Amino acid sequence: MSSTLTLVVKTNRCPQNHPCPAVRVCPVDALRQIGYGAPTVDMDKCIACGKCVRFCPTRALVLE
Ligand code: SF4
């Protein structure tokens, strides 16, 4: 069941005005941020571990 979860970036919840704290905690380097934009996910790398979800203060990163 959990293996079917996918990381989704809720860009409307991201203020896009700061360095994303979640990018550096990803164990497989799947998150990228250009400038202060909302991060993007490399779905080929993401293992849906959920670590980044806990580091986003506005809950813009969601496993669903
Ligand atoms: S769910 Fe885990 S592997 Fe996927 S982007 Fe977040 S920290 Fe990285």
Q: What is the mean pLDDT of each run of 10 residues along the chain (64 residues)?
A: 84 98 98 98 97 97 97
For residue 55, what pLDDT is reported?
97
This prediction has a pTM of 0.89
- State which ligand 1 atom lies nearest to the alpha carbon of 49: 2
Q: Is 61 exposed, middle or buried (0-12, 13-18, 19+ CB in 10 A)?
A: buried
- Distance from residue 22's CA to the centre of ligand 1 (Å): 9
What's the CATH number of domain 2-63, 3.30.43.10, 3.50.30.30, 3.40.1160.10, 3.30.70.20?
3.30.70.20
Pocket of ligand 1 (CB under 6 A): 7, 26, 28, 30-31, 41, 46-52
Contact 59, 13 (CB under 8 A): yes
For residue 30, what pLDDT is reported?
98
For residue 34, what pLDDT is reported?
98
Domain ranges of the chain: 2-63
